[in-house]
Amino acid sequence: MTVVDPDYAAVADAVRRQDRPLAINLAARALKRGHNHPLILVLAAEGLEERGKAAQALDLLRAATRAAPKNRVAWMRLAPLLARQRKFEEAAAAFDAVLAIDPDSFGALMGAGEMRLQLRDPTAAEHHYRRAAEVAPGSAAPLAVLAVMAAQKRNVEEARELAARAAAITPGILGAEMAVARAELLEGRPALAEARLTPLLGRTELDDENRAGVLDVRAEAFDAQGRTDEAFGDYEARNAILLRLNTTQFGGESAQRLPQITRRLTTFVAMEAEDAWRASPGEDSRGLRSVRRHVFLLGFPRSGTTLLEKVLGGHPQAVTLEEVNHLTAATLDLRGEAGWRRLARLTQAEADVCRETYWRLVRGSLGDDLSDKILVDKLPLHTLDLPMIARLFPDARILLALRDPRDVVLSCYRRRFQVNLAMFEFLTLRGAADFYDAAMGLANIARSRLPLILREVRHETVIADFDREVGEILDFIGAEWDPAVRDFADRVGGHMRTPSYAQLARGLNADGVGQWRRYERQMAPILDVLDPWVAQFGYPPTPPDA
């Protein structure tokens, strides 16, 4: 005769009677008595989450999935909680676990799609949303997201068709309205887009993320009409929302913020004996065997690095690694102030371990056969890693992308990035300017004290004299001219991975040059931070009355 545990039986009975509050209370009591059945763990976790104890809830749900790997409910409770905690990779894996158990789970397909968007994998996201649309043909939600994605890819006709299908199921659904507004912007009808978006902001059900999205697109509609005061007001309101949503995670003590860390590293590089920096811990023998030439493409976000990466990526001898941070993964022990001291005195054996890890990760991303290729490792904020690059990869060529600092900082503030430790600084103009100042300060010290093989690349020069400037860049990295580099717009692809993609899809243009002048009044409070860099890089000075 099977003996049924009375605590579990009471919980299960409350669940059968759909008395959720009672079930949660009974589960919490059973947990205190030492019970660890997955049902009890899941319900107790739900109660903890309701009381704001998300970390403890996560622990219980992880325990439930370990105890019962095929328990769909446990995974489906865990995944969205991880997403709310911005643990996107783990959340994506949890949604995948649900789909391994139930491939037709509409909620898991939608969640997996959202996580792939957060992880900047739009191809996988689109796959999940299309599958969700197949599984639930009566739902407008996946169609609305697909419509927005089509508009972001500049596929106006597809965006309108998907939006119309979504609106036919659920009239006025937000995603469909957003997609049509983006289409109207692409069609050169910003006033229509603005008129469509403004009523959406009055919806009481609009959450913070969606409100930020509407403000983002309406700001662009105002900008396209030359109404810069109203556009800036929307950028400011959008960023205030994102600042509030992300301050707990990224806006802690100023000492832990990236500008302050960067300045401490700058001081360290300046104070350490120059002989120590120039004493090489050996050549990168692994790299010399792996590739024909190793190139780092860096600068600051919105300085033209994506354009350069797409240009160089068209050369038959080049292969590009775009914004995959293998360098940090290979050098975790050399970060932080204790790590910097190790870096300055790095032995060849220690350096070789880091190099081996880096090249193993590169081969994992790009394949094993790179021996006749020029590897272009593009990540704008590798600027903060110049001391690391100098020590580990002394033979690497470095392309430092520069653009008018005022245009750079304004663009960082205006464009919407996925928020992380670095991009958090762009949510205020002052933060963006301060971060730029810190990064360029480190670049200055690194160039003066470290043995770097470095060439500046001016974004404005690439635009104004493309063939000559790109020809000189190719010569610097050891490649001959090839006309395929001109076809960069064709290599942008369908998915707009970064804010630069939509601009590059239109080909070479000077629309972004001097944009800061349109927002001169709003930029005035931070121009004192940027003007020294404007002067150093030789850009036209800020007018005295700015």
Q: Please, are residues 512 and 411 in contact by the beta-carbon 8 Å criterion? A: yes
Q: Which CATH code is given to the segment(s) 138-250?
A: 1.25.40.10
Q: Please, are residues 533 and 406 in contact by the beta-carbon 8 Å criterion? A: no
| CA dihedral sign, ordered 421, 427, 431, 433 | positive
* Rounded CA separation 91/415 (Å): 26
* Rounded CA separation 381/372 (Å): 27
Residues in the chain with pLDDT < 50? 1-3, 495-496, 501, 504
Q: Where are the domains of the chain?
A: 138-250, 255-536
Short-list 277, 322, 326, CA closest to 450: 277
* Rounded CA separation 502/330 (Å): 32
> Which pLDDT score is estimated for 83?
92
pTM of the model: 0.88
Q: Please, are residues 377 and 330 in contact by the beta-carbon 8 Å criterion? A: no
Strand 453-458 versus strand 374-378 pairing type: unpaired
> Which pLDDT score is estimated for 1?
39
Which residues 6+ apart lie within 8 Å of 415 measured at CB? Answer: 302, 426, 499
Q: Which DSSP state fits 180?
A: H
**CATH says 255-536 is which class?**
alpha beta
> Which pLDDT score is estimated for 430?
97
Q: Please, are residues 359 and 303 in contact by the beta-carbon 8 Å criterion? A: no
Q: Which DSSP state fits 541?
A: P
336 — alpha (psi -120 to 50), left (phi > 0) or beta?
A: left
What 3 state SS string does 111-177 have? HHHHHHHHCCCHHHHHHHHHHHHHHCCCCCHHHHHHHHHHHHCCCHHHHHHHHHHHHHHCCCCHHHH
* Rounded CA separation 177/473 (Å): 44
> Which pLDDT score is estimated for 127?
97
